[in-house]
Amino acid sequence: MINTTYKKMLQGKSIIRELSEYATARGQEIGYDHVFDYSLGNPSVPCPQDYTDGMIELLREEDPVAVHGYSPSLGIESVRRAVAESLNSRFAMDYEAKHIFMASGAAGALAHAFRCVTSPGDEILTFAPYFPEYGPYVNLSGAVLKVVPADMENFQINFQALEQMMSEKVMAVLINTPNNPSGVAYSTETIHKLADFLEGKQREYGHDIFLISDEPYREIIFEGADSPYVSKFYDNSISCYSFSKSLSLPGERIGYVAVNPRCRDAEALAVMCGQISRGIGHNCPPSSVQLAVAKVLGQTSDLSVYETNMNLLYDALTGMGFQVVKPGGTFYIFPRALEEDAGAFCMKAKKYDLILVPSDNFGVPGHFRMAYCIDTEKVKRSIPVLEKFVREEYPGRRS
Amino acid sequence: MINTTYKKMLQGKSIIRELSEYATARGQEIGYDHVFDYSLGNPSVPCPQDYTDGMIELLREEDPVAVHGYSPSLGIESVRRAVAESLNSRFAMDYEAKHIFMASGAAGALAHAFRCVTSPGDEILTFAPYFPEYGPYVNLSGAVLKVVPADMENFQINFQALEQMMSEKVMAVLINTPNNPSGVAYSTETIHKLADFLEGKQREYGHDIFLISDEPYREIIFEGADSPYVSKFYDNSISCYSFSKSLSLPGERIGYVAVNPRCRDAEALAVMCGQISRGIGHNCPPSSVQLAVAKVLGQTSDLSVYETNMNLLYDALTGMGFQVVKPGGTFYIFPRALEEDAGAFCMKAKKYDLILVPSDNFGVPGHFRMAYCIDTEKVKRSIPVLEKFVREEYPGRRS
């Protein structure tokens, strides 16, 4: 009979998707140029030309039976080795191919990481503000997601709240830095403090607590940001990566799990990912994409547009009197709304064809997210519209 | 803490993989030309040139942000529509785009289908001989796989055994036609009889029983075979397809779920697949591969080599006195071994560098599988070796 859990989920609607669909419909009505769509986190810059050239070369020069053939269940060995070497040279780690599991994007990587280190009923803690898909990602794995309230000052970690929510049932802590939706990167100090805290709790409880680090924005870091490589600070850590944002390949479903070589049972964990795959129908990222990505490891798309856009928006928003924590990376910014009800705020903005996402779904009230992975020219044109919206809707709030 | 279910699975070894690894190692030792590796079901013919050309055209001519962009969670709309139309024109069905869910290969498609129509603890029946990965595929979804013993005469369906194993707990029946490992296609008569049986049981139990049809070999059909399109015969049916074999793209992870439009809640089922994806980390097949495959729907690789190989082997094996059910499709053949212990039989064959897979893992004793997706020249050279093996190891059995 039809599964009721999944059927009931159909009633829930994603506010982000609804806003994005509205923006598209509105664009068809008045011209897409006039809709300032800050709803979706879709890369707006092309992949590196070397990726395209490398893929064409594979298709032209190599044996198609090999290029399109089954990948081993943990990924193509040469690709896993190349990923390990790339991470080692960039972050002074000691990965070997055996610590790398090629996954179909960060969603695939996380699905494996959660199942590796939890059993049904175990808890995973994450920190607000957080990517709302973590809810179904974790809860449908059988584990239970609990969200630690935000550090509202700077969107680092609220350690007091963490201490209160930590218990023996917590088997993993999930972080996302640089962060969607805040754009904030956890500082060296924050990661150090988190690592110390978790080490203490491991000793206290007598069991492992894994740190799962979701890092799709790792390469989108702005000038002056302190954004260290998480796994350097804590042995029982698992890094989940996607090339979606750094290479602008979100649809190609390519990423990896990198198990810290110093982690408990490090070698078993990567192999376990292959077993988990059998149950969830994940049979490796596309073979040709694995091979093509391996040719451009260390490269990125031209990500500079995101920093340009961030600076434009940050200056404009602070100039208008918004309270904003300055992003250290990503293509998101997460200002405080001009009224307590973020939903009402964003509804008012919609009248000006400004598509902003209210913060409630991210586990924080009274804020809104702007995904500024759009043309700089459009960001510039949106600023007077933002000013008009604020002036007309919140006349008393203007500085 | 590390999950014990998955960790324990590491102890289990796949006999097929072990044999394949042995064949590779042995090939490095004595030259791969001298190893007759019938272990693995990997397509041996290239994808159509039109696929390669179509992909290069996409990469060269189209906007990379669009080609590599996120796919909607049910698949790219134009691709879903093209798949529906292709199925309609070939099989006189009434699919619309809304009935199609693009999945990362048959494994991805099955992972969704199982979760759509069962809840944890429900039973799924399948029929021996069967693809052994169905075990982890089903059991790790929370449902329970039960295997109906084989019809040993012709590898159609043993309806007497099915009647005995059917119960109210069975929410789905899983078939694979043409079949891995037997190569047999279920006849129109078999599918009709199965549909009638399931309709009767639906009425008797007062609940739906879904027929999940795993069809990666649908296009590899040999002359004279009766291999009807399953969903024409039973309303509550879900077709799971992969392009791995028909287009020789197993590593690219591209296939689909096609929900019968006459199925209970047909529209909800496809949308539910999108919800299931959130939990299992499946975020669509690669976008560029969806677009490139849509350009060659209805085409296949040159699959004729498989029929050539099958005829060579079938004639040779029957000539040597083997009992063999003639395959109607696929690239497998499943003869009876010359002793009861299929493992012992295959061990003896290994001494002749004939790599055969014993049948026990497929749920049938005393047989062996040959995957003849290899060069015809090599099949020809293997025949005198097979003859020598039989003559020397089973002198009394030679006719």
**pLDDT tens, residue by residue, B341-369:** 999 999 999 999 999 999 999 999 999 99
Amino acid identity for residue B129 in this structure? P
pLDDT value of position B90: 96
Residue of B71, B108, B271 with shortest CB distance to A10: B271
Q: For CA atoms B198, B201, B203, B208, give the dihedral sign.
A: negative
Report the Cα A148 to chain-centroid distance in Å: 17
- Contact by Cβ (8 Å): B1, A119: yes
Distance from CA of B2 to the nearest CA of A (A): 4
User: Taking the CA of residue A128 as centre, how many other CA atoms within 13 Å lie in the half-sphere pointing to its CB?
Assistant: 19
A357 is written with which tokens? 């996402």
Residue B399 has pLDDT above 50, yes or no: no
Residue B82 has pLDDT above 80, yes or no: yes
Q: Do B272 and A7 lie within an 8 Å CB cutoff?
A: yes
Q: Do A6 and B116 lie within an 8 Å CB cutoff?
A: yes
A17 band by pLDDT with thresholds 50, 70 and 90: confident
Residue A212 has pLDDT above 60, yes or no: yes
Report the Cα A199 to chain-centroid distance in Å: 25
Residue of A10, A70, A289 with shortest CB distance to B42: A70
Q: Do A42 and B136 lie within an 8 Å CB cutoff?
A: no
Chain A residue with the nearest C-alpha to that of B49: A64
Residues 6+ apart with CB under 8 A from A100: A74, A75, A80, A81, A83, A84, A256, A257, A258, A259, A270
> Which residues 160-179 of A are in CB contact (within 8 Å) with B?
171
Q: Which pTM value belongs to this model?
A: 0.96
Using the Cβ of B44 and the Cβ atoms of chain A, whether some distance falls under 8 Å is answered with yes
B22 band by pLDDT with thresholds 50, 70 and 90: very high
Average pLDDT over residues A74-92: 97
What's the whole-number average pLDDT of chain A? 96
B267 is written with which tokens? 């529209």
Residue A295 has pLDDT above 50, yes or no: yes
Average pLDDT over residues B59-71: 95
Using the Cβ of A25 and the Cβ atoms of chain B, whether some distance falls under 8 Å is answered with no
Please, which residues bridge with residue B100 across strands? Answer: B258
Residue A399 has pLDDT above 50, yes or no: no
CA distances from B114 to A10, A19, B105, B141 (A): 18, 32, 15, 7
- Contact by Cβ (8 Å): A110, A240: yes
Q: Which of B286, B295, B299, B296 is nearest to B104 (CA)?
A: B286
Q: What is the 3-state secondary structure (H, E, C) of chain A?
A: CCCHHHHHHCCCCCHHHHHHHHHHHHHHHHCHHHCEECCCCCCCCCCCHHHHHHHHHHHHHCCHHHHCCCCCCCCCHHHHHHHHHHHHHHHCCCCCHHHEEEECHHHHHHHHHHHHHCCCCCEEEEECCCCCCHHHHHHCCCCEEEEECCCCCCCCCCHHHHHHHCCCCEEEEEEECCCCCCCCCCCHHHHHHHHHHHHHHHHHHCCCCEEEEECCCCCCECCCCCCCCHHHCCCCEEEEEECCCCCCCHHHCCEEEEECCCCCCHHHHHHHHHHHHHHHCCCCCCHHHHHHHHCCCCCCCCCHHHHHHHHHHHHHHHHCCCCCCCCCECCEECCECCCCCHHHHHHHHHCCCEECEEHHHHCCCCEEEEECCCCHHHHHHHHHHHHHHHHHHCHHHCC
Q: Which of A108, A151, A44 is nearest to A286 (CA)?
A: A108
Residue of A60, A67, A252 with shortest CB distance to B68: A252
Residue B21 has pLDDT above 90, yes or no: no
What's the whole-number average pLDDT of chain B? 96
The CA-CA-CA angle for residues A287, B60, A379, to 5°, reads 100
Using the Cβ of B69 and the Cβ atoms of chain A, whether some distance falls under 8 Å is answered with yes
- Contact by Cβ (8 Å): B250, B371: no
A217 band by pLDDT with thresholds 50, 70 and 90: very high
Using the Cβ of A369 and the Cβ atoms of chain B, whether some distance falls under 8 Å is answered with no
Using the Cβ of A42 and the Cβ atoms of chain B, whether some distance falls under 8 Å is answered with yes
Residue A293 has pLDDT above 80, yes or no: yes
Q: Tokens 């996120």 appear where?
A: B70
Using the Cβ of A121 and the Cβ atoms of chain B, whether some distance falls under 8 Å is answered with no
Q: What is the pLDDT of residues A201-210, one digit of tens each?
A: 999 999 999 9
Using the Cβ of A107 and the Cβ atoms of chain B, whether some distance falls under 8 Å is answered with yes
Between B149 and A42, whose confidence is greater?
A: B149
- Contact by Cβ (8 Å): A156, A187: yes
Please, which residues bridge with residue B358 across strands? Answer: B368
- Contact by Cβ (8 Å): B102, B75: yes
pLDDT value of position B16: 86
Average pLDDT over residues A357-365: 96
Q: What is the pLDDT of residues B206-231, one digit of tens each?
A: 999 999 999 999 999 999 999 999 99
Q: What is the pLDDT of residues A316-350, one digit of tens each?
A: 999 999 999 999 999 999 999 999 999 999 999 99
Amino acid identity for residue B308 in this structure? T
- Report how many Cβ contacts below 8 Å link chain A to chain B: 241
Work out whether strand A100-103 and strand A255-259 pair parallel, antiparallel, or are unpaired: antiparallel
Question: In chain A, what percentage of residues exceed pLDDT 70?
Answer: 99
> Which residues 279-308 of B are in CB contact (within 8 Å) with A?
279-289
Residue B398 has pLDDT above 90, yes or no: no
Using the Cβ of B48 and the Cβ atoms of chain A, whether some distance falls under 8 Å is answered with no
> Which residues 77-106 of B are in CB contact (within 8 Å) with A?
103-105
pLDDT value of position A142: 95
A386 is written with which tokens? 């933002």
Residue A397 has pLDDT above 80, yes or no: no
Measured distance CA(A172)–CA(A285) in Å, rounded: 25
- Contact by Cβ (8 Å): B250, B42: yes
